[in-house]
Chain A
């Protein structure tokens, strides 16, 4: 007979925190490499930088257009470009799925979402949600963490089909308080679904700081409860996010199941254009993170390695500006949707009842 363990473990003092792997970092705040080698080629790093810049300038332009009354309320991803682009670079757009929340546009651009549609998104055009035919991406998701159960179903479904694809599902720190996150993580663990949960911890859920969101020391450690690894990486370090998500994707592809990656980043912009961070955000904190800007850091790194010089960076700025101008023009040239557009998006067929509503709608423009 086995001997029972002595019942002497009821003292719970000091057992609150968990041993976690160290946070993954490659670059310091001035872009200096902290390791021997960077995890990608200079060419790839430069391309990553270009897409981060595209995302940044897109957001800046969009906020400005919104202030002119030419765009709807929007949620810029300024300051978080390394987190989303680094993750997108670590998966394979030909096989893998990108499942966004709504603050991942820079990463979506890398995965193949066109800038023209991004502009259409911000003018409230339904075509922005119609992910182009061959692109493995779900539409933007307004319900916080609502995409996660679906992303797990998708990953599980790919696994059952022996499809080589994996799923990158992105959400924020606030999302970890939602039941959908926990239920999705739990199922993913049970099914060993090939999914990477990428939590962009940007410090804020609108005005609620992450310390008010959870008593957990890290968000990554929540994975432990569900039986798979969680790891933090420097979310403002393109290399760190890329290397971490690449490893998570490898595990997923090899049948080892999910990983939760917490990318520590910061929302340098607004929650949305309807938000006023001066009501809640300490100025010093903002300034601290301005210094950790992921674009600045990568730019310093690329310059120090001689990959780019000022002239090349200026050229890139001009090129991005041109791309944005062209895409915005294209978006403005897109015909407005037919007023009855959404009658066709309810079901594959139209019920007699909906047809009658449509007749009335067409006649007097009322629902």
Chain B
């Protein structure tokens, strides 16, 4: 198997699915001739032309909204939002419209739509290019929210998302785009939506993370191991629907949990994870669950980025704290 990056995994999935399913259309800002600002759609335009790989006007609202209409016309749209931070221009179309197609039509229509968006900090991007806004979308019934961390999961989950009969917001780890490499089969495979992954087995503490933060979690687990603490790292992979069973099984075993979330603390998705763990495994807990997150300030510009993003040191501190309690 070849070792590739996350963004190459995205490209492989799109290339494969466009060839397999003639209904798939890829569109968004700069996805055509330029191949996307991160080259995620590189080569698709040359293969399929402007009929199926379409540069759109600069409008997140109409990209998301038109995706619904294209799906109703029988296409399988895969739309790119260049950076998740800008999707709020189309918030109504994603959250109030796309997520509700099945509900609003009482089952007459569904929207087999995938919206891909890179997100997350740590790559020294300008304002709004780095914010962790996943929680805004996890709170919209009808929308599945997928957030892989590795190239293998990115390819398998993207294929599963495009084939899912319902809308999926597919969040790609911007920090992992080129930094995270892994072995990926060349052929067709799916990773099931709604299933978390045990990224590392452990016995003392459960550490939960997703997307770009999984690498931080693995680093912190290494650091903890050198202090004799065995950390089990759970990579959620899918935020909605949340895999409560995997969380419960792990915490039942370890009795301790730390939840790592790159986004600002308050009302972040980590809070949902904490609440779920205490619902599912309260009597196994030997210490209060800890959250590690960014402070409740808007995402800082480049010079202060590293100070705000939760790094392995802060995660290790939390791990040590829950093992002491």
Chain A interface (Cβ < 8 Å from any Cβ of B):
126-127, 129-133, 138-139, 141, 143, 146, 148-158, 160-161, 163, 179-180, 183-184, 186-187, 190, 341-342, 344-348, 351-354
CA distance A348 to B110 in the complex (A): 8
Determine whether B241 belongs to the interface, using a CB cutoff of 8 Å to chain A: yes
Most chain A CB inside 10 Å of its own CB: which residue of B25, B64, B97, B166: B97
Most chain A CB inside 10 Å of its own CB: which residue of B59, B67, B110, B244: B59
B65 in complex: contacting residue of A129, A153, A351, CB < 8 Å: A153
Cβ–Cβ < 8 Å partners of B141 in chain A: 346
A-B contact pairs, 21 of them (CB 8 A): A131-B108, A132-B108, A141-B104, A149-B64, A150-B65, A150-B66, A151-B69, A152-B66, A153-B69, A153-B77, A157-B73, A157-B74, A160-B25, A163-B73, A180-B61, A183-B57, A183-B61, A187-B62, A344-B107, A345-B107, A346-B141
Cβ–Cβ < 8 Å partners of A354 in chain B: 241
B68 in complex: contacting residue of A126, A130, A150, A341, CB < 8 Å: A150
Please give the number of chain B residues whose Cβ is less than 8 angstroms from any Cβ of chain A in the complex. Answer: 44
Cβ–Cβ < 8 Å partners of B110 in chain A: 348
Q: Which of B81-140 contact A (CB under 8 A)?
A: 89, 92-93, 96-97, 102-110
Q: Is the CB of A183 within 8 A of B62?
A: yes
A233 CB, min distance to chain B CBs, angstroms: 26
Cβ–Cβ < 8 Å partners of A155 in chain B: 69
B255 CB, min distance to chain A CBs, angstroms: 23
Given A126-B106, A180-B61, A186-B62, A150-B166 contact (CB < 8 Å): no
Cβ–Cβ < 8 Å partners of A148 in chain B: 65
Q: Is the CB of A153 within 8 A of B66?
A: yes
Q: Is the CB of A139 within 8 A of B241?
A: no
Most chain A CB inside 10 Å of its own CB: which residue of B74, B77, B105: B105
A160 in complex: contacting residue of B75, B166, B194, CB < 8 Å: B75
B278 CB, min distance to chain A CBs, angstroms: 15
A347 in complex: contacting residue of B74, B96, B106, B166, CB < 8 Å: B166
B288 CB, min distance to chain A CBs, angstroms: 24
B157 CB, min distance to chain A CBs, angstroms: 15
Q: Is the CB of B69 within 8 A of A157?
A: yes
Q: Is the CB of B72 within 8 A of A130?
A: no
CA distance A354 to B109 in the complex (A): 20
Q: Is the CB of A149 within 8 A of B105?
A: no
Q: Is the CB of A129 within 8 A of B74?
A: no
Determine whether B174 belongs to the interface, using a CB cutoff of 8 Å to chain A: no
Given A179-B61, A183-B61, A161-B73 contact (CB < 8 Å): yes
A119 CB, min distance to chain B CBs, angstroms: 16
Cβ–Cβ < 8 Å partners of B77 in chain A: 153
Q: Is the CB of A150 within 8 A of B97?
A: yes
A127 CB, min distance to chain B CBs, angstroms: 6
Cβ–Cβ < 8 Å partners of A127 in chain B: 106
Cβ–Cβ < 8 Å partners of A158 in chain B: 73
Cβ–Cβ < 8 Å partners of A353 in chain B: 241-242, 244
Given A149-B93, A152-B65, A160-B75, A187-B57 contact (CB < 8 Å): yes
Determine whether B56 belongs to the interface, using a CB cutoff of 8 Å to chain A: yes
The residue of chain A having its C-beta at the shortest distance from the C-beta of B106 within the complex is: A130
Q: Is the CB of B70 within 8 A of A180?
A: no
Q: Is the CB of B106 within 8 A of A345?
A: yes
Most chain B CB inside 10 Å of its own CB: which residue of A127, A131, A148, A345: A345
B117 CB, min distance to chain A CBs, angstroms: 17
Determine whether B51 belongs to the interface, using a CB cutoff of 8 Å to chain A: yes
Cβ–Cβ < 8 Å partners of A156 in chain B: 66, 69-70, 73
CA distance A244 to B92 in the complex (A): 31
CA distance A130 to B56 in the complex (A): 31
The residue of chain B having its C-beta at the shortest distance from the C-beta of A131 within the complex is: B108
Q: Is the CB of B69 within 8 A of A130?
A: no
Cβ–Cβ < 8 Å partners of A190 in chain B: 56-57
The residue of chain B having its C-beta at the shortest distance from the C-beta of A99 within the complex is: B69
A184 in complex: contacting residue of B62, B144, B241, B244, CB < 8 Å: B62
CA distance A150 to B75 in the complex (A): 13
Q: Is the CB of A154 within 8 A of B72?
A: yes
The residue of chain B having its C-beta at the shortest distance from the C-beta of A189 within the complex is: B57
CA distance A341 to B194 in the complex (A): 23
Cβ–Cβ < 8 Å partners of B104 in chain A: 129, 139, 141
Which 7 pairs across A and B sit closest by C-beta, in order of nearness?
A: A149-B65, A153-B69, A157-B73, A153-B66, A351-B241, A154-B69, A130-B106
A274 CB, min distance to chain B CBs, angstroms: 21
Cβ–Cβ < 8 Å partners of B97 in chain A: 143, 146, 149-150
Determine whether B165 belongs to the interface, using a CB cutoff of 8 Å to chain A: yes
The residue of chain A having its C-beta at the shortest distance from the C-beta of B62 within the complex is: A183
Q: Is the CB of A345 within 8 A of B75?
A: no
Most chain B CB inside 10 Å of its own CB: which residue of A126, A133, A139, A150: A150
Cβ–Cβ < 8 Å partners of A129 in chain B: 104-106, 108
Q: Is the CB of B102 within 8 A of A347?
A: yes
CA distance A146 to B97 in the complex (A): 7
A342 in complex: contacting residue of B56, B65, B96, B103, CB < 8 Å: B103
Cβ–Cβ < 8 Å partners of B72 in chain A: 138, 150, 153-154, 157
CA distance A153 to B111 in the complex (A): 12
Cβ–Cβ < 8 Å partners of B66 in chain A: 149-150, 152-153, 156, 184, 187
CA distance A149 to B106 in the complex (A): 21
CA distance A183 to B66 in the complex (A): 10
A187 in complex: contacting residue of B59, B68, B105, CB < 8 Å: B59
Determine whether B245 belongs to the interface, using a CB cutoff of 8 Å to chain A: yes
CA distance A157 to B93 in the complex (A): 17
Cβ–Cβ < 8 Å partners of A347 in chain B: 102, 142, 144, 165-166
Q: Is the CB of A149 within 8 A of B62?
A: yes
Cβ–Cβ < 8 Å partners of B62 in chain A: 149, 152, 180, 183-184, 186-187
Q: Is the CB of B106 within 8 A of A152?
A: no
B121 CB, min distance to chain A CBs, angstroms: 28
B229 CB, min distance to chain A CBs, angstroms: 30
Cβ–Cβ < 8 Å partners of A183 in chain B: 57, 59, 61-62, 65
Given A152-B69, A153-B66, A157-B69, A346-B103 contact (CB < 8 Å): yes
